[in-house]
């Protein structure tokens, strides 16, 4: 009964979250006029259709472009490959609009893969593109929760009882371990052993740079090598691609689910769509699509006046029939390829039971601390046992409904299992391979009980040791805290974005960036990040350097750069730090840098918070506390 109540509660919270996200999207549409949506990057208008083509799996591709208009930001600046889109065709088109996915995105050109067939008729004029949300993932989460809650006398029921603390997890004797990756350190090897010994579930705690995905890949290879089928999932596409990239060359039969546009271009050969095209049975699909395209072109050539109403209707029915026949055959090929794969890779939300029926011996969940519990249950209902890899000291999943978060949606399954699974079924990775020891140490002390160890290959490396980089006061030191106290860089509220920004701090960040670039560090080796989206947009409007990445702290989780410059933004007399009080955000921000971390902030503001006061003391002890007056505006 307790289990049923738990899942009923999650269903209620999930519905609250779905409505909150929908209301946020509607609020933006109603609150912002078209010009504002364009400024925010939510909408692009005035687009010409350059061409209509065909991509992987016969998907229609529409390429759109617009000439530069002297704007501060290029029109597609906020849209990325893999985003959902609504494409509104020129007046007179049939249909008037169509949903799709961004396939390629440049500054002034974008290609969209349509979800349905190409337009039967294109009018004359310009197009519009809007960013879209989707309910598909919510539907899959609701289905997974219902499946888990109703499960009886199967593995899903066993996992449910263990994850609710009603049944103790089991361990089994493991065969002698022969590592595929012999470079694993002792902590990583122990994590692999413990996970392979788990009959039901195990956790891998992976602080930044400790190689949790590397461990997960070794577990996957061991399981698949023993004849087991593995489902490897994560909440984000980039995390799934990281697993896929590390599995390349393993000799395993791999298939990556999801839209090809959401897969890195270098890995698309393993995407299901590419594998379908290579299948001998795809020839029939290609023939059906080719015949359908000929009918579409013939209809366009005849025009409305050449055919009677009944003839046009019959032609349209034939075109639709050919589309359905091709897609049905394609779906059969997909299911056959998935069934024959040793390792299936997908985002949690991308798992459709129409294609993936389950039957996996092991479910490997990466970034498990960044997925809500309902999202985690989507892959869990498809497997016999599970291995979770994550870090609860980094940022949790984004939740729109604060009420749902407060009532329990913010508590991830990974968080709950920390307190449920016994010690032998949990592992902490301790050796990190990313950061200079000075960058690492503060994070280690505050979040990981001082247990992290910097590997000798990174413990003392600095930006000055990069090829072609000059040794300067910045590049020779691993850490610099630039204190803006007294500089008058007051924060401001951006009404449009409902976010905070700090112009003085942004300009200082760019001066520091110029110093690093002048020393010879390449733009592609640098990240400029901030916790507030308004500050990110401000920074992007102030500089355009090819290769330089500017983004939010949240968006940069899971990434790393040789040099990271962090603008904290907050500067006020009240000492308010807002959502910076979730210090996990600072943990993420500080641990993106490999060789040089520059943090910009006002000690008089942030120093009133105990965590930031400790950071300022740490910077002082390292000789890294400097004043913004050392880099005056010229």
Cβ neighbours around 350 below 10 Å, total: 22
Q: What is the mean pLDDT of the chain?
A: 91
* pLDDT surpasses 90 at 449: yes
CB 503 within 8 A of CB 491: no
Is the backbone peptide bond immediately before 95 cis, with ω within 30 degrees of 0? yes
Evaluate whether 347 touches 258 at the Cβ level (below 8 Å).
yes
SS3 at position 145: helix
**333 membership: H or E segment, kind and range:** helix 309-340
Residue 318, CA distances (Å) to 294, 442, 532, 622 in order: 12, 66, 52, 74
Residue 389 CA, chain-centre distance (Å), reads 16
Distance CA 580, CA 582 (A): 5
- End-to-end Cα, the chain, rounded Å: 69
**DSSP codes, 531-591:** SSHHHHHHHHHH---TT-EEEETGGGTT--EEEEEEE-----TT---GGGGSTHHHHHHHT
Report pLDDT digits (tens) over 21-42: 888 876 776 777 787 788 777 8
- The alpha carbon dihedral of 27, 31, 34, 37 has a sign of negative
Examine the pLDDT at 179 and tell me if it is beyond 70.
yes
DSSP per-residue codes, 195-261: HHTBSSEEEEE--TTS-HHHHHHHHHHHHHHTT--EEEEESSHHHHHHHHHHHTTS---EEE-S-GG
Predicted local distance difference test score (pLDDT) of residue 68: 82
What whole-number distance in Å separates Cα of residue 346 and Cα of residue 91?
38
Token pair of 96 as six digits? 């008037």
Q: What is the pLDDT of residue 67?
A: 86
Query: Which residue has tokens 């065709």?
Result: 89
CA distances for 9 relative to 1, 3, 142, 408, 415, angstroms: 12, 10, 11, 9, 17
pLDDT digits (tens, 9 = 90+) for 80-92: 777 788 899 998 8
Is the confidence at residue 413, as pLDDT, over 80?
A: yes
Contact 100, 113 (CB under 8 A): yes
With CA atoms as reference, report the closest residue to 529 among 497, 561, 503, 499: 561
Tens digits of residue pLDDT in 346-402: 999 989 888 888 899 999 999 999 999 999 999 999 999 999 999 999 999 999 999
User: Mean pLDDT, to the nearest integer, of 510-517?
Assistant: 98
All residues at 6 or more sequence positions from 242 whose CB lies less than 8 Å from its CB, including other chains:
213, 366, 558
Token digits of residue 176: 């002698």
CA distances from 404 to 44, 441, 532 (A): 33, 35, 23
pLDDT for the residue 1: 46
Provide the pLDDT for residue 306.
Answer: 60
Average pLDDT over residues 445-462: 98
Tell me the chain's radius of gyration from C-alpha atoms.
26
Q: Which residues pair with 479 in a beta bridge?
A: 597
pLDDT in tens, 191-218: 999 999 999 999 999 999 999 999 999 9
Cβ pair 214, 181 in contact under 8 A: yes
Cα–Cα dist 394/587, whole Å: 6
> How much is the pLDDT for 473?
96
Q: Is pLDDT of 103 > 90?
A: no
Average pLDDT over residues 336-345: 96
CB contact at 8 A, 145 and 11 = yes
Confidence at residue 214, expressed as pLDDT on a 0 to 100 scale? 97
Rounded distance between C-alpha atoms, residue 565 and residue 317, angstroms: 58
pLDDT at 2 over 70: no
Contact (Cβ atoms closer than 8 angstroms) between residue 444 and residue 568: no
Residue 428's beta-bridge partner residues? 205
Q: How much is the average pLDDT of 586-603?
A: 98
Buried b / exposed e over 275-297, threshold 16 CB at 10 Å, is bbbeeeebeebeebbeebbeebe
Share of the chain above pLDDT 90, in %: 70
Q: CA 36, 37, 43, 46: dihedral to nearest 10 degrees?
A: -20
**DSSP code per residue over 85-105:** EEEEPPTT-BSSEEEEEEEEE
Separation CA 389–CA 215 (nearest Å): 9
CB contact at 8 A, 609 and 483: no
- β-sheet bridge partners, residue 493: 500
Question: In angstroms, rounded to a whole number, what is the distance separating the alpha carbons of residues 153 and 161?
Answer: 11
Mean pLDDT of 273-301: 84
Nearest alpha carbon to residue 480 among 372, 623, 347: 623
Burial class of residue 69 (count of CB atoms within 10 Å of its CB; 0-12, 13-18, 19+): exposed
């Amino acid at each position: 009964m307790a289990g049923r109540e738990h899942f009923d509660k999650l269903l209620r919270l999930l519905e609250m979250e779905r409505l909150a996200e929908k209301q946020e999207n509607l609020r933006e549409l109603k609150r912002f006029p078209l010009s504002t949506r364009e400024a925010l990057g939510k909408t692009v208008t005035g687009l010409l259709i350059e061409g209509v083509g065909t991509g992987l799996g016969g998907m229609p591709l529409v390429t759109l472009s617009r000439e530069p208009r002297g704007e501060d930001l290029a029109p597609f600046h906020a849209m990325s490959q893999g985003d959902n889109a609504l494409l509104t065709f020129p007046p007179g088109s049939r249909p008037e609009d169509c949903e799709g996915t961004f396939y390629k995105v440049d500054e002034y050109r974008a290609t969209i893969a349509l979800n349905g067939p190409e337009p039967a008729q294109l009018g004359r004029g310009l197009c519009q593109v809007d960013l879209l949300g989707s309910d598909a993932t919510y539907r899959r989460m609701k289905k997974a929760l219902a499946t888990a809650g109703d499960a009886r006398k199967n593995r899903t029921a066993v996992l449910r009882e263990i994850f609710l603390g009603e049944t103790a997890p089991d361990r089994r004797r493991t065969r002698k371990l022969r590592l595929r990756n012999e470079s694993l350190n002792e902590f990583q090897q122990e994590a692999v052993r413990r996970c392979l010994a788990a009959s039901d579930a195990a956790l891998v705690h992976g602080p930044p740079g400790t190689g949790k995905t590397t461990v997960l890949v070794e577990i996957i290879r061991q399981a698949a090598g023993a004849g087991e089928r593995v489902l490897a999932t994560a909440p984000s596409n980039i995390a799934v691609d990281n697993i896929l990239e590390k599995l390349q060359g393993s000799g395993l039969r791999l298939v990556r689910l999801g839209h090809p546009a959401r897969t890195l271009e270098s890995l698309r050969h393993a995407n299901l769509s590419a594998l379908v095209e290579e299948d001998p049975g795809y020839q029939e699909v290609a023939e059906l699509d080719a015949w359908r395209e000929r009918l579409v072109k013939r209809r366009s050539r005849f025009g409305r006046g050449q055919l009677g109403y009944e003839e046009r209707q019959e032609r349209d029915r034939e075109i639709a029939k050919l589309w359905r026949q091709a897609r049905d055959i394609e779906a059969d090929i997909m299911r056959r390829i998935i069934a024959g794969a040793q390792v299936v890779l997908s985002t949690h939300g991308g798992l459709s039971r129409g294609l993936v029926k389950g039957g996996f011996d092991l479910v490997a969940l990466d970034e498990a601390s960044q997925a809500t519990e309902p999202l985690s249950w989507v892959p869990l209902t498809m497997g016999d046992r599970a291995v979770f890899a994550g870090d609860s000291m980094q940022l949790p999943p984004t939740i729109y409904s604060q009420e749902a978060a407060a009532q329990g949606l913010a508590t991830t399954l990974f968080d709950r299992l920390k307190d449920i699974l016994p010690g032998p079924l949990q592992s902490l990775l301790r050796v990190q391979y990313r950061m200079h020891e000075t960058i690492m140490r503060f994070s280690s002390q505050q979040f990981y009980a001082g247990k992290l160890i910097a590997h000798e290959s990174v413990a003392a490396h600095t930006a000055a040791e990069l090829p072609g980089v000059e040794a300067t006061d910045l590049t020779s030191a691993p850490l610099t805290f630039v204190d803006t106290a007294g500089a008058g860089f007051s924060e401001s509220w951006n009404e449009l974005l409902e976010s905070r920004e700090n112009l003085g701090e942004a300009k200082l960040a760019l001066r520091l960036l110029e110093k690093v670039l002048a020393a010879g560090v390449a733009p592609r080796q640098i990240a400029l990040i901030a916790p507030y989206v308004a500050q990110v947009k401000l920074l992007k409007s102030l500089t355009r350097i090819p290769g330089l990445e500017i983004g939010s702290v949240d968006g940069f989780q899971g990434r790393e750069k040789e040099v990271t410059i962090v603008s904290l933004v907050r500067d006020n007399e009240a000492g308010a730090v807002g959502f910076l009080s979730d210090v996990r955000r600072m943990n993420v921000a500080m641990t993106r840098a490999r060789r040089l971390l520059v943090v910009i902030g006002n000690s008089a503001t942030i120093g009133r918070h105990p965590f930031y006061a400790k950071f300022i003391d740490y910077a002082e002890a390292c000789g890294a506390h400097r004043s913004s007056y050392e880099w005056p505006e010229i």
